[in-house]
Amino acid sequence: MLIYFDDTFRLKTIERFSSLLKPQGKLFLGHADIIPENHYFTKHTEHRLSYYVKNS
């Protein structure tokens, strides 16, 4: 759903996701949902699967 919003709203949304996840929690999004550069999550890719891990 993030593809429908601008970068400002996306950053607010991932900030909220970050507050809900435990340290090193993983965030899985749809393949079209790309989040802008941020200090909340680091992107990881394994076997064509991408996900984000919450930074400590």
pLDDT digits 0-9 by tens, 1-53: 888 999 899 999 999 999 999 999 999 998 888 888 899 999 999 998 999 99
Domain locations in the chain as residue ranges: 2-54
Question: How far, in whole angstroms, is CA 25 from its chain's centroid?
Answer: 11
pTM: 0.83
Which residues, 6 or more positions from 51, have their beta carbon under 8 angstroms from its beta carbon?
Answer: 26, 27, 28, 29, 43, 44
Whether 35 and 29 have beta carbons less than 8 Å apart is answered as: yes
Nearest-10 Cα torsion for 16, 29, 27, 50:
-140
